[in-house]
Amino acid sequence: MTHPPPFLEDPDDTRDAIMKATYVALCKHGYSDLTIQRIGDEFSKSKSLLYHHYDSKDDLLLDFLEFMLDQLEEQLPTYREGGADDYIEEIVDSTFSFGDGRPDTDFTQALVELRTQAAHDEDYREYFTRSDQFVRKHVVHTIRSGIEQGVFQEVDPQETAALFQIVFSGTMTQRVTSDDDIFEDARAEFERYVRDCLLAAE
């Protein structure tokens, strides 16, 4: 069974209930086999509400993506106790573990499918551009904080964040589109980069 993230477990209102149903249906069916009907099958209220609020599957999915980004922005801290160096290790760990094991893999597959829509749909492209910019902004702030704390070298925060962004996107796509397991090697090399090129010498 697909379990939604904690913030969707107990929906507070109709929109949250729709977002939960969309998450579950998307994980079950993926983008190409997803329909309003199948989202309605996971919806605890009248299916007519879906058609009242949304004109199409893509209209609903774009609202769902906006909802997920809003949740990410609200819940993602800059860094936790221990400083920016500890938090950057959490970012690396999350990068290489995201989507590793169901139900995370189901959602990762769905995200990659949705991202491919951006190749020919401006609305999806605009969303994923903003999503990428948010992730980079988050990493930039963490890098700058680490430099101020003296735990990072004097690197360019924008360039470093761009590398983190590309590694994250590439890892997510590789995990759900190939059976070639290269994550251990890639992680070892990326951790070497963080150790040698980012962390300040003790």
Predicted confidence at residue 46, as pLDDT, reads 85
- Mean pLDDT taken over the chain: 88
One domain, residues 49 and 88: no
Number of structural domains the chain divides into: 2
| Sole residue written with tokens 């998307």 | 26
Clarify whether residues 26 and 83 are in a common domain.
Answer: no
pLDDT digits (tens, 9 = 90+) for 53-67: 898 999 999 999 999
Q: Is the pLDDT of residue 79 over 60?
A: no
Would you say residue 2 lies in a domain?
Answer: no
Residue 50's domain spans which residues? 8-75
Residues 69 and 105 in one domain: no
- pLDDT classification of 173: cutoffs 50, 70, 90: very high
pTM of structure: 0.85
Of 51, 75, 99, the residue at which a domain comes to its end is 75
Who contacts 124 (Cβ-Cβ below 8 Å, separation ≥6)? 58, 62, 114, 115, 117, 118
In a shared domain, residues 63 and 140:
no
Determine the pLDDT at residue 51. 87
* HEC readout, the chain: CCCCCHHHCCCCCHHHHHHHHHHHHHHHHCCCCCCHHHHHHCCCCCCHHHHHHCCCHHHHHHHHHHHHHHHHHHHCCCCCCCCHHHHHHHHHHHHHHCCCCCCHHHHHHHHHHHHHHHHCCHHHHHHHHHHHHHHHHHHHHHHHHHHHHCCECCCCHHHHHHHHHHHHHHHHHHHHHCCCCCHHHHHHHHHHHHHHHHECCC
Residue 189 belongs to a domain with what CATH number? 1.10.357.10
Token pair for residue 129? 């551009």
Regarding whether 54 and 16 lie in a shared domain, the answer is yes
**In the prediction, which pLDDT does 75 show?**
62
Q: pLDDT (tens digit, 9 = 90+) per residue, 124-169?
A: 999 999 999 998 999 999 999 999 999 999 999 999 999 999 999 9
Q: Is 76 helix (H, G, I), strand (E, B) or coil?
A: coil
The reply to whether 58 and 106 lie within a common domain is no
Does a structural domain hold residue 1? no
Same domain, 47 and 140: no
Average pLDDT of the residues in 93-99: 82
User: Within a domain: residue 180?
Assistant: yes
What is residue 77's predicted lDDT score, i.e. its pLDDT?
57
CATH number at residue 42: 1.10.10.60
Contacts for 95 with CB less than 8 Å, ≥ 6 apart: 164, 167, 168, 171, 190
Q: Are residues 33 and 87 in the same domain?
A: no
Is the same domain home to 58 and 127? no
Q: How many CB atoms lie within 10 A of CB 35?
A: 11
Q: Is residue 127 part of a domain?
A: yes
Predicted local distance difference test score (pLDDT) of residue 52: 86
Q: Are residues 35 and 90 in the same domain?
A: no
Read off the pLDDT of residues 24-76 as tens digits, 9 standing for 90 and up.
999 999 999 999 999 999 998 888 888 888 989 999 999 999 998 888 777 66
